[in-house]
Amino acid sequence: MPASEEICRLSATELIAGIEAGSFSPAESIEAWAGAMESDDLNAFLWKGVEGGAEQGSGHLSGLPVAIKDIFCTSGIPTTAGSRILEGYKPPYSATAVERLTEAGAGLLGKTNMDEFAMGSSNENSAYGGVSNPWDRTRVPGGSSGGSAAAVAGGLAPCALGTDTGGSIRQPAALCGIVGLKPTYGAISRFGMIAFASSLDQCGPLTRTVADAALLLEVMQGQDQRDSTSVGLEAPIELPSSTDLDGVRFGVPAELVGGDVGIEVGVREVFEQTLSRIEELGGEVAEVTLPHAAHGISAYYVLAPAEASSNLARYDGVRYGLRVEADDLVSMYERTRSEGFGPEVKRRIMLGTYALSSGYYDAYYAQAQKVRTRIAEDFTAAFQGVDFVVTPTSPTVAFPLGARTQDPLSMYLSDFCTVPMSLAGIPAISIPAGLAAPPEGGPELPVGFQIAAPAFGEQDLLEAAHALEMSIGFQRLDQREGEGA
């Protein structure tokens, strides 16, 4: 039996292969990872506990523990969405995505920290404290799935679930040097995922490798009658095996990567090296145009808050979590919501309520919907000429804790390159592509490369990402530490 450090160096697919080969048992794997989770000094976990997964032969994921973002309802296990207003809430049921994993034999490995209600790009909006980036503990891990990304990058979990509304899987994956996949809207059921902006929210995996992302996607995807927007994928996802990009066409949109959009020099260098690598692997790189994509952030910050203001109306102190008593019902609502929600959530509720109010609806909400349609059409047109659209995932490497908390706009711009794909509903993956020094100097940090595909093009997306991943040979933090580097 390998020592637990060795188990904790394996990817999810390697772990399963190890169990199938009889090198160690599911129980040994779960125990090793439970120990890793317990050593969390990043504040990556809000609840540390393990459920299931240790039984031999309970499914093909038997022995694989998955860390779960605290936005997924888990039956009988605290679920806060990073908010005080849900403190103490234990859902009576589990999210479909979580259920599918456990039905396949996987275990649940803790609940991970996150920006409150998934609103944020640094995890600093969590009511339960920020999370450190394991590459540099003075920096953010990204957000809103910051705990999930830090846990996987920091060797505390082999893989994790996240959610992505405008970039919350891809951006933290990029900042932590791991893989993050946002599937097509509708590929995985949203049932039991606490709603932020329902027309954009999508569940997906944060993993060590592209193959691991494929493994989890296949288990979780599929139609679910409890989410009427879920459709699943057309065919089962297979583990990707491509090693070349012969004849595959990649489009670079000037609107998202042009000289004037604030991409850091180091990030741009890694992006350009990756484009050269695509050509070396037989792929073609062309310019494409997404004429409305640069308006993505503006449209998103009308639409997402509008949906949030409606979704968050249910937290009134009556049914879940926190209640702050008062003399009458309305005062109870007011006090509960004033004390239960943090400042960013309040800002979103106010923005959204304003955008939806009579007299402003057409000027803001209806207009933003039109922009959204234009952006979706831009991608459809671009995909006439190329197979994929590529950008840096984040314009910057991980920034210092506190650097953007006083400046919401600079925080919102973290998602400049990821929001357009969310608005279009298309799948996109971030893979680690290299390292770059931050502009203020200091040790080098991971840079993510984003690849976006047409709706339901996950298999092709995973194949291309896998070929690139094999060629890049990025050394993850756990691999560096494993070598004592």
Q: How far is the CB of 58 from ligand GLN (least distance, A)?
A: 32
- Residue that is written with structure tokens 């590529």 in the block: 390
Using CB under 6 A as the binding rule, whether residue 179 contacts ligand GLN is answered as no
CA–CA distances in Å: residue 42 to residues 37, 112, 336, 441: 10, 11, 30, 23
Which phi-psi region, left, alpha or beta, contains residue 123 (left: φ > 0; alpha: ψ -120 to 50)? left
Using CB under 6 A as the binding rule, whether residue 13 contacts ligand GLN is answered as no
Given 144, 145, 230, 422, the catalytic residue = 144
Given 11, 94, 145, 168, the catalytic residue = 168
Q: Has 338 been annotated as catalytic? A: no
Using CB under 6 A as the binding rule, whether residue 121 contacts ligand GLN is answered as yes
Using CB under 6 A as the binding rule, whether residue 167 contacts ligand GLN is answered as yes
Using CB under 6 A as the binding rule, whether residue 304 contacts ligand GLN is answered as yes
**CA 112, CA 91: separation in Å to the nearest integer?**
16
Q: How far is the CB of 482 from ligand GLN (least distance, A)?
A: 31
404 touches 122 (CB < 8 A)? yes
| Closest by Cα among 183, 159, 179 to 170 | 179
Q: Can you read off the two tokens belonging to residue 365?
A: 């909400």
Residue nearer to ligand GLN on the CB measure, 132 or 145: 145
**CA 32, CA 485: separation in Å to the nearest integer?**
22
Using CB under 6 A as the binding rule, whether residue 394 contacts ligand GLN is answered as no
Using CB under 6 A as the binding rule, whether residue 118 contacts ligand GLN is answered as yes
**Which residues, other chains included, contact 479 with Cβ-Cβ below 8 Å and sequence gap of 6+?**
9
Q: Has 144 been annotated as catalytic? A: yes
Using CB under 6 A as the binding rule, whether residue 252 contacts ligand GLN is answered as no
Interface stretch with ligand GLN, choices 159-167, 252-260, 270-278, 471-479 (CB under 6 A):
159-167
Q: How far is the CB of 206 from ligand GLN (least distance, A)?
A: 13
Tell me the sheet residues that pair with 436.
Answer: 445
| Closest by Cα among 147, 177, 175 to 163 | 147
Using CB under 6 A as the binding rule, whether residue 340 contacts ligand GLN is answered as no
Given 11, 69, 111, 242, the catalytic residue = 69
Using CB under 6 A as the binding rule, whether residue 166 contacts ligand GLN is answered as yes
DSSP secondary structure string, 250-300? EEEEHHHHSTTS---HHHHHHHHHHHHHHHHTT-EEEEE--TTGGGHHHHH
Interface stretch with ligand GLN, choices 32-40, 113-121, 237-245, 444-452 (CB under 6 A):
113-121
Using CB under 6 A as the binding rule, whether residue 415 contacts ligand GLN is answered as yes
Q: Site size for ligand GLN, by CB under 6 A?
A: 13
**Which residues, other chains included, contact 3 with Cβ-Cβ below 8 Å and sequence gap of 6+?**
none
Q: Has 276 been annotated as catalytic? A: no
**CA 245, CA 387: separation in Å to the nearest integer?**
11
Q: How far is the CB of 121 from ligand GLN (least distance, A)?
A: 4
**Which residues, other chains included, contact 225 with Cβ-Cβ below 8 Å and sequence gap of 6+?**
none
Using CB under 6 A as the binding rule, whether residue 168 contacts ligand GLN is answered as yes
Using CB under 6 A as the binding rule, whether residue 165 contacts ligand GLN is answered as yes
Residues lying near ligand GLN in the complex (CB under 6 A): 118-121, 144, 164-168, 196, 304, 415
Please list the active-site residues.
Answer: 69, 144, 168
